[in-house]
Structures are given as structure tokens and as C-alpha cells.
Amino acid sequence: MQINKVGIPSILLALMLASPVVFGGDPAEPAIEVEIFKFQFVPQEITVNIGDTVRWTNKEKRQYHSVWFEQSGDPEPEYFFPGESYVRLFDKAGSFPYHCGPHPKMTGTVHVK
């Protein structure tokens, strides 16, 4: 088995990088929290610092959602279900609108300063 610099088997690392719920961030890391409840992102608008990680947690009873930064050029992420999270790191300043893939009326914005 191939082992890379950080001591994680390459196949495991590839799986970690491919995971839709851990995009660009460590889920165990401190993060700014956004809840998804009743088809809304709460809070809908947040301001964070460069380098911050944001975690969206699905608090619905049974509805899946996604967090899609389509205008930033992100590919459409997979949907995530109640109790699951989506994590994204913000490493550039700017205002980044996003929406839910299956529910385009659900929108939010992350401002990074």
C-alpha cells in the first residue's frame, strides 16, 4: 500500500477528499455554524474571516438539502440528510452567494473579509 507524506494511505486520502460532506475543511475543526431548518439557511447571511470554516447542519426532520456555491464555480455537491453537515473553507475575501441545489429558492450569502 502506498503511504504519502502525512501517513495516510492514498486510497483513504482520496476517499476523504472525495467526500461531499467534508469539502475543504476538517469536520472536527471549529467552524461558524449555519443551520438548515424549514427550507431556510439560518442565519441566511454571515460574515466570516479569511481562513474560516463554515459548517451547515441539516436540522430538518426528513428533508435533504445541499449547499451549492454555483456562482463560485463549485460543482453541484451531493445532498445531505438530517443530522449531516456540509463544511467549506473560505480562503478568499468577497461575497459568495449560494443556494440549495434541489430547492433553488433557498439562498444564502457568505461574506468573507
Spatial contact of 25 and 63, defined as CB atoms under 8 Å apart: no
- Please, which residue, 38 or 113, has the CB nearer to Cu ion? 38
Return the residue of 34, 56, 65, 86 that touches Cu ion, per CB under 5 A. 65
Q: Closer to Cu ion at the Cβ: 13 or 107?
A: 107
Position 26: which residue type? D
User: Which backbone phi and psi does 65 adopt, to 5 degrees?
Assistant: -145, 175
Q: Is 67 in the site for Cu ion (CB under 5 A)?
A: no
Q: What is the DSSP letter of 89?
A: E
103 binds Cu ion (CB under 5 A): yes
Chain-centroid distance, C-alpha 10: 23
Cα–Cα dist 109/95, whole Å: 7
Stretch binding Cu ion (CB under 5 A), from 44-52, 70-78, 81-89, 102-110: 102-110
Nearest to 96 by CA among 50, 30, 39: 50
Output the smallest distance, CB 65 to Cu ion, in A.
Answer: 3
The three cell numbers locating residue 113: 473579509
Which member of 54, 67, 87, 100 binds Cu ion (CB under 5 A)? 100
For position 99 contacting Cu ion by CB under 5 A, the verdict is no
Residues that bind Cu ion (CB under 5 A): 65, 100, 103, 106
